[in-house]
C-alpha cells in the first residue's frame, strides 16, 4: 500500500512526487487529453505518460475519469459521458491500471431512489464492458449536494443505503467504491463501521478527511456553512490507523491517494499563501505511518 495524490499529468508534479517520496498517483483524465483513446496517436502518448511515472517509481493506482452526471436527460450529453467511460476503461487496460473512478450520475428530480432504474440501465452495460477488459469501476461516494448532503447533488452513490440498492441492482464484481471517509463524516456516519461493512466493495481509497466543529454545530446547526469542512488526513475526525487496519483485514491491496484542494487553510489561496503542497506533505506524514509502501 502506497501514499500518493490525485493530479493531472504534469511533469513538474511528478518531480515533486519523486522528491518527497510519494509512491503512487490517481491520474485525472478528461475527454480532451491527447492520450485518450480515439485521439490521434493516443497509444504512443499514453505510453509516454506511463513511462514518465514508471521512471519516477510512481505507480498509477487509478484513473479518475468520469465525474459527470451520466443520467443527464440530454441524450447528446449522456452519449458523450458514455463514450468517456468506455475510453477510460480502454485506457486503463492499455496502461495496466486496475481501476477507473467517477460518479454514477443521478436523476435530478425527486429523491435518490428514482435513480436506481437508470443506474441499472447504464451501469449494467458499463460493468460488462469493464469485466471484458479486466478493469474495476469505482464510484466515489460524494453526495455533491448542498452542505455536504445528497440534496441537489448529481451522484446517486452517496449514502450506504444507496450503495446497497445500486449494487444489488447491478450485481457485478466490476462495480465498487472509490471510498472517501470525508463524505461519511459529513453525514455523521462512522467510517470504521462503514469500512467493515463494505470493505469487499472498496476498490480505491481517497485520502481526504472532514472535521465537525461541534461548537458551531451546536450553536448554528449543520446548515451554517462552516460547521463541517473537508480537510487533509491528520487534521480531521477519521481514525486512519484503524481504517487502514480494517482495509488490510479485508484484503484491500490498493493504494491511498490524497484528494487535495479542499482544506480551507492548507490550500493555495488567491493572492495569498501557497500551502497546498504543505497540506499534501502533512497528509502523507500522517498516513505513511500505517502503510508499508509496497
Q: What is the pLDDT of residues 141-165, one digit of tens each?
A: 999 999 899 999 999 999 999 999 9
* Residue 95 pLDDT level (bands cut at 50, 70, 90): very high
Q: Which range of residues forms the domain containing residue 118? A: 3-290
pTM of whole model > 0.75? yes
* Residue 110 pLDDT level (bands cut at 50, 70, 90): confident
* Residue 251 pLDDT level (bands cut at 50, 70, 90): very high
Rg of the chain in Å (alpha carbons):
19
Q: What is the pLDDT of residues 7-60, one digit of tens each?
A: 999 999 999 999 999 999 999 999 999 999 999 999 999 999 999 999 999 999
Give the pLDDT score at 140. Answer: 98
Total domains present in the chain? 1
Beta-carbon contacts of 224 under 8 Å, excluding residues fewer than 6 positions away, are 216, 217
Share of the chain above pLDDT 70, in %: 100
* Residue 225 pLDDT level (bands cut at 50, 70, 90): confident
Read out DSSP for the chain?
--EEEEEE--HHHHHHHHHHT--EEEEE--TTSTTSTTSTTHHHHHHHHHHHHHHTT-EEEEEEEE-S-TT-SSHHHHHHHHHHHHHHHHHHHHHT--EEEE------SS-GGGGHHHHHHHHHHHHHHHHHHT-EEEEE----SGGGSSTT-S-STTSHHHHHHHHHHS--TTEEEEE-HHHHHTTT--HHHHHHHHGGGEEEEEE-EEEE-HHHHHHH-GGGSSSEEEE-TTSSS--HHHHHHHHHHTT----EEE--S--SSSSB-TTS-B-HHHHHHHHHHHHGGG----
Give the pLDDT score at 47. Answer: 98
Instruction: Kindly state the average pLDDT of the residues 94-108.
Output: 98
Give the pLDDT score at 170. Answer: 98
3 has a pLDDT exceeding 90: yes
109 has a pLDDT exceeding 90: no
Share of the chain above pLDDT 90, in %: 98
Q: Give the domain CATH number at 259.
A: 3.20.20.150
Give the pLDDT score at 184. Answer: 98
Amino acid at each position: 500500500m502506497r501514499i500518493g495524490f490525485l493530479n493531472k499529468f504534469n511533469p513538474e508534479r511528478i518531480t515533486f512526487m519523486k522528491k518527497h517520496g510519494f509512491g503512487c498517483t490517481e491520474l485525472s483524465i478528461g475527454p480532451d487529453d491527447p492520450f485518450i483513446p480515439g485521439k490521434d496517436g493516443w497509444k504512443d502518448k499514453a505510453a509516454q505518460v506511463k513511462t514518465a511515472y514508471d521512471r519516477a517509481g510512481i505507480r498509477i493506482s487509478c484513473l479518475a475519469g468520469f465525474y459527470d452526471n451520466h443520467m443527464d436527460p440530454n441524450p447528446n450529453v449522456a452519449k458523450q459521458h458514455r463514450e468517456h467511460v468506455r475510453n477510460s476503461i480502454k485506457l486503463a487496460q492499455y496502461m495496466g491500471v486496475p481501476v477507473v473512478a467517477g460518479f454514477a450520475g443521478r436523476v435530478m428530480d425527486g429523491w435518490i431512489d428514482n435513480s436506481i432504474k437508470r443506474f441499472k440501465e447504464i451501469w449494467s452495460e458499463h460493468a460488462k464492458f469493464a469485466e471484458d477488459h479486466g478493469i474495476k469501476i469505482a464510484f466515489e461516494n460524494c453526495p455533491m449536494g448542498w452542505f455536504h448532503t445528497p440534496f441537489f447533488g448529481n451522484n446517486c452513490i452517496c449514502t450506504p443505503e444507496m450503495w446497497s440498492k445500486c449494487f444489488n441492482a447491478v450485481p457485478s464484481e466490476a462495480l465498487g467504491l472509490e471510498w472517501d471517509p470525508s463524505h461519511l463524516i459529513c453525514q455523521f456516519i462512522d467510517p470504521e463501521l462503514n469500512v467493515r461493512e463494505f470493505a469487499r466493495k472498496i476498490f480505491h481509497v481517497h485520502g481526504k478527511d472532514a472535521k465537525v466543529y461541534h461548537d458551531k454545530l451546536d450553536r448554528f446547526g449543520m446548515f451554517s456553512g462552516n460547521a463541517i469542512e473537508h480537510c487533509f488526513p491528520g487534521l480531521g475526525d477519521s481514525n486512519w490507523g484503524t481504517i487502514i487496519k480494517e482495509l488490510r483485514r479485508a484484503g484491500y491491496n490498493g493504494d491511498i491517494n490524497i484528494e487535495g484542494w479542499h482544506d480551507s487553510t492548507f490550500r493555495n489561496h488567491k493572492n495569498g499563501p501557497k500551502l497546498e503542497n504543505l497540506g499534501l506533505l502533512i497528509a502523507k506524514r500522517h498516513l505513511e505511518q500505517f502503510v508499508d509502501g509496497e
